[in-house]
Structure 1
Amino acid sequence: MRTTAVLDTNALMMPVELDVRVFDELDRLLGEYEAVTPRAVVAELEKLRDGNGKEGTAAAVGRDLADRCRIVETEEPYADDAVVAAAKAADGDVYAVTNDRPLRDRLLDAGVDVIGLRGRNTLEITET
């Protein structure tokens, strides 16, 4: 069975903001998987990377990391909505990767398992 990890904006910014090696953690948790991110997330990262300070740096790194993902199209222009739509549209075992609590709750309510921060720099799975 195919495993998909849908990454949101803050998941791709975790390496700078939270010192989390996102792809290493996903490898540990999921083994073999396909990383995807919605085009709306890429657009949000591109907008944020023009900012100053740590957020701008994190967004620039996140945009580079998005190249490791298959970018998927959704009809949703807002990044969080696009993550939910992409997760619901994916086949097989699907996980959404986020550290955004309201988005996490929306995903869990939609029946999507969520991977988020546990402790300082480790990820864990929260199942529906």
Structure 2
Amino acid sequence: MNVVLDTNALMMPVELDVRLFDELDRILPPGYELFVPEAVLDELAKLSSGAGTEATAASVGADLAERATPVEHDAPYADDAVLEVARELEATVVTNDRPLRDRLFEAGVPVIGLRGHNKLERNEP
């Protein structure tokens, strides 16, 4: 199973106290593969150069993204890239971004998002 990570998914451990990889292990079958679009890596790098909690979360997210395979794409923006890569890889996307989730559902892409305070759940479109 292929899984694409969005920017805010990688920032969840700091911002929402979500144990991202433990949760993915809990809800996904063994052997899933993680992917991250290059635009997400760029967005994390920009956000981490600031100050405050968001910068810390982005810095941690950039470190966590090293567990995923980076993917090149043609899309100029991170959300577009997530959708493009998810379609190409027939992947499930991890995101807590409601507008992106809605776009993914419209495209028939399954989404893993926050359920309750710090648990994840998989949702089919």
TM (norm. structure 1) is: 0.95
- Length, aligned pairs only: 124
- Report the AA paired with residue 18 of structure 2: V
Cα deviation 1:77-122 (Å, max 9, x = unaligned): 200000000000004xx21000000000000000000000000000
Unaligned runs of 5+ in 1: none
Q: SS in structure 2 opposite 1:105?
A: helix
Percent identical across equivalent pairs? Answer: 63
Does residue 117 of structure 1 match 2:114?
yes
Please name the residue that 1:27 is paired with. Answer: 25
TM (norm. structure 2) is: 0.97
Please name the residue that 2:93 is paired with. Answer: 96
Distance 1:75 1:25 in 2: 30
CA RMSD of aligned residues (A): 0.7
Q: SS in structure 1 opposite 2:44?
A: helix
Q: Point out 4+ residue stretches in structure 1 off by more than 6 angstroms.
A: none
Q: Which piece of structure 1 moves more, 27-36 or 95-104? A: 27-36
Q: CA deviation at 1:31?
A: 2.5
Distance 1:97 1:74 in 2: 18
